[in-house]
């Protein structure tokens, strides 16, 4: 059942129409991409308690990586040729997490976003581009870190009110939508997506995809959309979506979203090879170094496996940066893309901050690594 009172309204007939889309209605992509990353679980504290999630730890048990631990992870990633520092969170730890807040205070920070800024700076200094997923964010929180992130993200998951989100601390679709809108207003290249199988129905899936499309039409900032199936784990025994459900959802996403918005299925959570013909063109962030801390029971496939998926589909596999190329200034692009204007987000802000641009253009090992991924020379 869709949530009432969403700030982005979608026409009922468009929802019905999208529900009728099947894999036969879409074309496969002509290439697949991926990004080499390291996964950095900055904190496992979270104000919410989604019933399918094994990432969060309760107060007293939650972890907070130290600056030194962050530095070690990103160094290892840079040495392994990665380009992305993927910072994951729970959602803004509330005041039940006294130990986390005490530790942050000891390190000179009054909020997790203040600490995220320091963490991003460590990543940039060590030669990785930050992509942070801090959950719901106010404008003030997001503004505190945008200039140190190449891109950011949050999963919309669903526009429906589902029991998997309920309880004392309820994650609401409206806050997620507001976060995605704020990213658009601030000119932040953004990744979002839907979670399939948490109690939503087909109309909810269609509505969620159409809400994402509307936000992209307004701001041009959605770089990719992830279609993620929920997976069974020690907290979730509610079942997983069937392959048929996944294929139909991916096809609906491809049909709903403009061509320039990439479509991703995480290959460690879903049989990506079974949905390539439904329109995915990205295999996500793949880490040669760290685990997937959100889904630790589901190991990343080796990069070799990604090559096999692309080979089987008969398409090239292309590495990419955490920020998609069309958001880069013209001197840092090789694709000739003429869709979303790279230098003119709807907000009038720049897509890429001066700090990120400097890192991309720098005559350093990291700068050369970034530019070789783009394919615009060293
Ligand atoms: S899914 Fe995200 S918001 Fe929900 S409990 Fe897990 S970390 Fe928190």
Give residue-wise pLDDT tens across range 66-85. 999 999 999 999 998 999 99
**pLDDT at position 335:** 67
CA distance 113 to 95: 15
Confidence category of residue 281, pLDDT binned at 50, 70, 90? very high
Inform me whether the pLDDT recorded for 209 exceeds 70. yes
Please name the residue whose Cα sits nearest to atom 8 of ligand 1: 90
C-beta 134 within 6 A of ligand 1? no
- Alpha helices by DSSP H, listed for 57-163, are 67-79, 98-106, 112-126, 139-143
User: What pLDDT score was predicted for residue 293?
Assistant: 59
Provide the percentage of residues in the chain whose pLDDT is more than 70. Answer: 91
Assign 91 a pLDDT band (cuts: 50, 70, 90): very high
pLDDT at 160: 95
Q: Is the CB of 337 under 6 A from ligand 1?
A: no
The pTM is what? 0.94
For Cα atoms 18, 20, 23, give the angle at the middle one, nearest 5 degrees. 95
Question: What is the Å distance from ligand 1's center to 165 Cα?
Answer: 9
Give, using CA atoms, the residue closest to atom 4 of ligand 1.
50
Q: Which residues share a beta bridge with 152? A: 132, 190
Question: How far does residue 229's CA lie from ligand 1's centre (Å)?
Answer: 15
Q: Which residue minimizes the CA distance to atom 2 of ligand 1?
A: 90
- Please report the pLDDT score of residue 279 as a whole number: 96
Mean pLDDT of all residues belonging to the chain: 91
Beta-sheet strands, E only, within 148-290: 151-153, 190-196, 222-229, 262-264, 282-286
Q: What percentage of the chain reaches a pLDDT higher than 90?
A: 80
Output the pLDDT for position 298: 62
* Displacement of CA 273 from its chain's centroid (Å): 20
56 pocket-lining for ligand 1 (C-beta < 6 Å):
yes
Q: How far is the CA of 160 from the centre of ligand 1 (A)?
A: 16
**Measured from the CB, is residue 135 less than 6 Å from ligand 1?**
yes
Q: Which two tokens stand for residue 85?
A: 């520092």
Provide the β-strand partners of residue 43: 64
Residue 101 confidence (pLDDT) = 97
> Is pLDDT at 348 greater than 70 in this prediction?
no
Query: Which residues 6+ apart lie within 8 Å of 6 measured at CB?
Result: 159, 173, 174, 177, 211
Q: At residue 340, does pLDDT exceed 60? A: no
| 111-128: pLDDT as tens digits | 999 999 999 999 999 999
Given a cut of 70, whether residue 297 has pLDDT beyond it is: no
Task: Give the pLDDT of residue 332.
Answer: 85
Distance CA 99, CA 111 (A): 13
Give the residue among 81, 86, 95 at the shortest CA–CA distance from 116.
Answer: 86
Could you identify the atom of ligand 1 that is nearest to the CA of residue 54? 6
pLDDT of residue 349: 60
Distance 90 CA to ligand 1 centre (A): 5
Does ligand 1 come within 6 angstroms of the Cβ of 193? no
What is the reported pLDDT for 193? 98
Which phi and psi angles does 240 have, rounded to 5°?
-120, 150
Question: What pLDDT is attached to residue 257?
Answer: 98
């Amino acid at each position: 059942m869709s949530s009432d009172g969403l700030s982005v309204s979608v026409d009922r007939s468009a929802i019905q129409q999208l529900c009728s889309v099947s894999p036969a209605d879409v074309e496969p992509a002509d290439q697949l991409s991926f990004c080499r990353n390291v996964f950095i679980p900055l904190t496992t504290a979270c104000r919410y308690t989604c019933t399918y999630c094994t990432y969060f730890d309760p107060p007293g048990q939650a972890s907070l990586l130290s600056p030194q631990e962050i530095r070690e992870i990103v160094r290892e990633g840079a040495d392994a040729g990665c380009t992305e520092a993927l910072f994951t969170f729970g959602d803004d730890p509330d005041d039940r997490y006294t130990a986390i807040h005490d530790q942050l205070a000891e390190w000179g920070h009054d909020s997790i976003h203040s600490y995220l800024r320091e963490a991003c700076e460590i990543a940039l200094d060590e030669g990785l581009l930050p992509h942070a997923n801090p959950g719901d964010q106010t404008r003030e929180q997001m503004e505190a870190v945008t200039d140190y992130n190449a891109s950011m993200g949050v999963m919309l998951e669903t526009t429906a009110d589902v029991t998997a989100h309920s309880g004392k601390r309820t994650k609401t679709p409206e806050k997620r939508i507001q976060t995605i809108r704020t990213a658009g207003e601030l000119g932040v290249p953004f990744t979002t997506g839907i979670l399939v199988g948490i109690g939503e129905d087909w109309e909810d899936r269609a509505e969620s995809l159409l809400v994402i499309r509307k936000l992209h039409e307004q701001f041009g900032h959605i770089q990719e959309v992830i279609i993620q199936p929920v997976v069974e784990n020690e907290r979730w025994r509610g079942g997983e979506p069937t392959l048929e459900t996944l294929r139909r959802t991916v096809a609906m996403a491809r049909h709903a979203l403009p061509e320039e918005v990439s479509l991703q299925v995480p290959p460690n959570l879903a049989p990506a090879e079974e949905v390539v013909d439904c329109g995915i063109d990205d295999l996500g962030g793949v880490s040669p170094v760290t685990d997937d801390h959100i889904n630790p029971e589901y190991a990343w496939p080796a990069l070799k496996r990604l090559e096999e998926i692309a080979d089987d589909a008969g398409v090239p596999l292309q590495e990419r940066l955490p920020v998609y190329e069309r958001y880069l200034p013209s001197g840092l692009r090789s694709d000739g893309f003429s869709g979303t204007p790279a230098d003119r987000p709807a907000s009038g802000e720049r897509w890429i901050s001066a700090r990120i641009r400097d890192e991309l253009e720098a005559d350093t090992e990291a700068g050369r690594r970034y530019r070789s991924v783009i394919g615009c020379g060293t």
